Amino acid sequence: QKEVEQNSGPLSVPEGAIASLNCTYSDRVSQSFFWYRQYSGKSPELIMSIYSNGDKEDGRFTAQLNKASQYVSLLIRDSQPSDSATYLCAAGRSGSARQLTFGSGTQLTVLP
Amino acid sequence: DVKVTQSSRYLVKRTGEKVFLECVQDMDHENMFWYRQDPGLGLRLIYFSYDVKMKEKGDIPEGYSVSREKKERFSLILESASTNQTSMYLCASSGGWVDSNTGELFFGEGSRLTVL
C-alpha cells in the first residue's frame, strides 16, 4: 500500500477557477507535509509546507491539513495557465533522517 | 541560490555497463538524496546520506550503490545496468530535517538514463 496517495488526474480547470488537489497518507507518525510543483521536464520545487492542523495561506495557495483524517490538500485560487504542472504531495516524520515520502503526483492543466 | 548540479542530463548505456551519476551541491548541506522518478510511481528514494561517508538505504536500493567522499558530492553507481533501471534520476540536498525550516529539498535538473 502506497503511503501517500494523491487524487487521480489529470485535473483540468479554467483560468481564474479554484484548483483543488488532495492527498491522503497512511503513516500516522507523519508530522510534516509538503507540496512540490514540477513543471514538465523540470525538477520539483517546494511551494508550500504545513505542520499543524488547519489552513496555511501563501498568496494564491492555501494548504490544509487534517491529521485526524490523515488528509492534506492544496487549493490554488485564481488559477493561471502558468500553474499548469504536476503537483507532488510529500509527508515526513519529525526528526527523520529518511526525509520524505512522495505521492505519485497530480497533473494540473489550467485552460486559458 | 542553492544549486544542485547533476553531471549528465541524458545518458544511454548498454545492459551490464557500470554507470556513474554525479551530483554536486554548493550550499554546504548535510543531507543528500538520490531518487528515481517513473510515470505513475512518483519519486522513490534509492539512497540518502546525512554526512560524509555515511549512507542509508531508501525504498529501492537493489542494484544501486552510492559514495559520499566529500560533503558536496554524492554519487550514484549502477554496478551492472539493466533495462529496468531506465528512468529519470533526481539528486537532492537539504540542510536539515523535515520539521525544520531548513528541511526543504533542493533538486538537481535530473539525469535521464536509458539502458538498452
B 51-90 residues with CB below 8 A of A?
Answer: 56, 58, 90
- With beta carbons less than 8 A apart as the criterion, state whether B114 and B81 touch: no
Rounded to a whole number of angstroms, the distance from the CA of B10 to the nearest CA of chain A is 12
- CB burial of B50-66 (b: ≥16 within 10 Å; e: otherwise) equals beeeebeebeeeeebeb
Chain B CB contacts of A105 below 8 Å:
42
Whose cell is 535538473? That residue is B109
Give the pLDDT of chain A (112 residues) as one tens digit per residue. Answer: 558 999 877 999 999 999 999 999 998 888 889 999 999 989 999 999 998 999 999 999 999 999 999 999 999 999 999 999 999 999 987 666 566 889 999 999 999 9
Inter-CA distances, A87 with A39, A65, A72, B74, B116, Å: 9, 16, 13, 26, 31
Cross-chain CB nearest to A95 (options B40, B99, B109) = B99
State CA B80 to chain mean position distance: 17
A112, containing H or E segment: none
What DSSP state is assigned to residue B40? Answer: T
pLDDT tier at B2, thresholds 50, 70, 90: low
Q: Report the number of secondary-structure helices (H) and strands (E) in chain A.
A: 0, 11
Nearest by CB to A99, from B48, B107, B108: name it.
B48
Q: Chain A within 8 Å of B34 (Cβ-Cβ)? A: no
End-to-end, the C-alpha distance of chain A in Å comes to 37
Q: Are A65 and A26 in contact (CB under 8 A)?
A: no
Q: Residues 1..30 of B with a Cβ closer than 8 Å to A: which?
A: none
Nearest to A95 among B42, B48, B97 (CB): B97
Interval B72-81: pLDDT, tens: 999 999 999 9
CA dist A81 and A111 (Å) reads: 6
Residue A32 to residue B33, Cβ atoms within 8 A:
no
B40 touches chain A (CB under 8 A): yes
The distance in angstroms from the start CA to the end CA of chain B is: 37
Say if residue B14's pLDDT is above 90: yes
E strand residue ranges, chain B:
4-6, 10-13, 19-25, 31-38, 42-51, 54-57, 65-70, 73-78, 87-94, 106-107, 111-115
Distance CA A56, CA B76 (A): 37
A96 vs B41, B44, B97: nearest CB: B97
pLDDT at B13 over 70: yes
